[in-house]
């Protein structure tokens, strides 16, 4: 069986598999094809892949000769049209934001796996690209905020006087939010945190953040640990509290999301306008609508002295380690579907294989995507 690594379209800088994972795949008796130069922007070059055992070819040959095509961002509808339906596609297909491509895959009878759909269970943790990429995003978001802020993060006592520490407000304490708390604390900031899931309270505290509780949050065990839509009364209470805390903060990091839905609106424009001049907002939820009303996805906006950075693609800015984490997750999933002789072995009785499968035999398989369709 042949696995083909495709080169991403710019500005994406990551690559789906690095040479270490190629070597491990070859040990599983699989051949690996690499589109020429696919790792260049992740600072990993063709000779390193050749040393690991990959064969370097042009894109057309990867597309025609591979049994499994691996990538990060989904292929466009035009390219999917040209692909033979015996191929298996595997990447971050962004199914909730890309319903047209899902329909295209169904119509063409293509089997596809979307690694964002890997179940959030302990057994599947080593395949969880959402956690890996959120770790990178939370880390980079804090560093970016520190660079844009016209103040220090830590407290300084010097001959030139005492400088107070910056105050950072984090909205959402999932994987990205927890990472952001840890980095902001390491840089010496005072950190406050909002989340609708009370389960994160202890984690926030153990990282040195202060958890601000809003009473009356709706939590649903059936949502698999994810946040669910809140009542209007809760939203109003939360908005008032966020408004108060944002006005005394220097940085707000927005990470709150609800899978498959528009991100909750948590920072109203009136709140932003009342914030201290020079403050910085980083909105990691920008691509799903943003937590801040004034966010423009992919842009840096300035409103009454407040810098608002709408950025959901931090992992691409740290392409080496982001690719390394993605590649490890991808390899661990591939191991599940390759048998001892290096051939494909799809076991749909395995909840990880079934849960991660987006389309198969002309049907949408993942239940959450099916529900949205």
21 catalytic residue (yes or no)? no
Catalytic residue among 125, 198, 206, 244: 125
350 catalytic residue (yes or no)? no
Q: How far is the CB of 74 from ligand NAD (least distance, A)?
A: 19
* Window contacting ligand NAD (CB under 6 A); options: 15-23, 53-61, 89-97, 220-228: 220-228
Cβ within 8 Å of residue 13, ≥6 positions away: 41, 42, 316, 317, 319
Report the alpha-carbon distance of residue 66 to residue 1 in Å, rounded: 8
Residue 59 interacts with ligand NAD (CB under 6 A): yes or no? no
What are residue 106's phi and psi, to 5 degrees? -65, -45
Tell me the CA end-to-end span of the chain in Å, nearest whole number: 33
For tokens 């040195």, the residue is 208
Instruction: Indicate left, alpha or beta for 342 from its phi (over 0: left) and psi (-120 to 50: alpha).
Output: left
Residue 134 interacts with ligand NAD (CB under 6 A): yes or no? yes
Q: Which residues pair with 194 in a beta bridge?
A: 171
Residue 172 interacts with ligand NAD (CB under 6 A): yes or no? yes
Residue 23 interacts with ligand NAD (CB under 6 A): yes or no? no
Report the alpha-carbon distance of residue 370 to residue 373 in Å, rounded: 5
120 catalytic residue (yes or no)? yes
Q: Return the residues of window 239-278 that contact ligand NAD according to CB under 6 A.
A: 255-259, 264, 266
Residue 227 near residue 199 (C-beta atoms within 8 A): no
* Window contacting ligand NAD (CB under 6 A); options: 22-30, 43-51, 188-196, 345-353: 188-196
**Considering only residues 165, 174, 209, 315, which one is a binding residue for ligand NAD as defined by CB under 6 A?**
174
Q: Which is nearer to ligand NAD, 86 or 122 (CB)?
A: 122
Residue 323 interacts with ligand NAD (CB under 6 A): yes or no? no
**Considering only residues 8, 35, 116, 128, which one is a binding residue for ligand NAD as defined by CB under 6 A?**
128
153-134-10 Cα angle (round to 5): 100
* Window contacting ligand NAD (CB under 6 A); options: 7-15, 192-200, 317-325, 357-365: 192-200
Beta strands in 222-292 (DSSP E): 251-254, 280-283
Residue 317 near residue 140 (C-beta atoms within 8 A): yes
Residue 115 interacts with ligand NAD (CB under 6 A): yes or no? no
Q: Which is nearer to ligand NAD, 41 or 118 (CB)?
A: 118
Residue 2 interacts with ligand NAD (CB under 6 A): yes or no? no
Please give the residue whose beta carbon sits closest to ligand NAD in the complex.
174
Report the alpha-carbon distance of residue 196 to residue 33 in Å, rounded: 45
For tokens 């080169």, the residue is 7
14 catalytic residue (yes or no)? no
Among 60, 129, 59, 73, smallest CA distance to 101 is for 73
The sign of the CA dihedral 278, 284, 287, 288 is negative
Residue 209 interacts with ligand NAD (CB under 6 A): yes or no? no
Size of interface with ligand NAD, in residues (CB under 6 A)? 31
Binding map of ligand NAD across residues 334-353, x = CB under 6 A, - = no contact: --------------------
Q: Which is nearer to ligand NAD, 88 or 133 (CB)?
A: 133
Report the alpha-carbon distance of residue 84 to residue 285 in Å, rounded: 35
Report the alpha-carbon distance of residue 241 to residue 260 in Å, rounded: 26
* Window contacting ligand NAD (CB under 6 A); options: 23-31, 79-87, 161-169, 226-234: 226-234
326 catalytic residue (yes or no)? no
**Considering only residues 137, 173, 191, 306, which one is a binding residue for ligand NAD as defined by CB under 6 A?**
173
Residue 84 near residue 61 (C-beta atoms within 8 A): no
Helix (H) or strand (E) holding 300: strand 300-303
Residue 283 interacts with ligand NAD (CB under 6 A): yes or no? no
**Which DSSP state fits 288?**
G
- Please give the residue ranges that form the binding site for ligand NAD (CB under 6 A): 120-122, 125, 128, 130-131, 134, 171-177, 194-197, 200, 225-227, 230, 255-259, 264, 266
Active site residues: 120, 125, 128, 131, 226
């Amino acid at each position: 069986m042949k696995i083909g690594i495709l080169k991403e379209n710019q500005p994406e800088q990551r690559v789906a598999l690095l040479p270490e994972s190629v070597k491990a795949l070859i040990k599983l008796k699989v051949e690996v094809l690499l589109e020429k130069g696919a790792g260049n922007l992740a600072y990993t070059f063709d000779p390193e892949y050749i040393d690991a055992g990959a064969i370097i070819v042009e894109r057309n040959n990867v597309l025609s000769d591979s049994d499994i095509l691996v990538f990060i961002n989904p292929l466009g509808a035009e390219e999917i049209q040209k692909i033979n339906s015996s191929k298996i596609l595997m990447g971050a297909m962004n199914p909730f934001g890309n319903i047209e491509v899902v329909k295209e895959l169904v119509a063409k009878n293509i089997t596809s796996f979307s690694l964002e759909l890997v179940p959030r269970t302990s057994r599947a943790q080593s395949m969880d690209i959402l956690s890996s990429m959120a770790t990178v995003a939370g880390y980079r978001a804090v560093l970016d905020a520190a660079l844009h802020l016209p103040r220090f993060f830590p407290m300084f006592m010097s001959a030139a006087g005492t400088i107070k520490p910056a105050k950072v407000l984090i909205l959402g304490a999932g994987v990205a939010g927890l990472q952001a708390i840890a980095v902001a604390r390491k840089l010496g900031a005072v950190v406050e945190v909002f989340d609708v899931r009370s389960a994160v309270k202890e984690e926030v505290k153990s990282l040195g953040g202060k958890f601000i509780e809003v009473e009356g949050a709706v939590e649903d065990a059936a949502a698999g640990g994810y946040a669910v839509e809140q009542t209007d009364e809760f939203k109003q209470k939360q908005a008032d509290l966020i408004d108060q805390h944002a006005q005394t903060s220097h940085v707000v990091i927005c990470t709150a999301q609800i899978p498959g839905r528009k991100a909750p609106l948590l920072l109203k424009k009136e709140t932003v306008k009342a914030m201290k001049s020079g403050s910085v907002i980083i909105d990691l939820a920008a691509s799903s609508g943003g937590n801040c009303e004034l966010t423009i996805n992919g842009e840096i906006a300035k409103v009454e002295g407040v810098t608002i950075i709408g950025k959901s693609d931090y992992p691409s800015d740290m392409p080496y380690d982001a690719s390394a984490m993605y590649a490890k997750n991808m390899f661990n999933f591939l191991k599940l579907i390759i048998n001892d002789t290096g051939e494909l072995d799809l076991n749909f009785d395995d909840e990880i294989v079934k849960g991660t499968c987006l389309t198969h035999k002309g049907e949408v398989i993942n239940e959450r995507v099916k529900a949205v369709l």
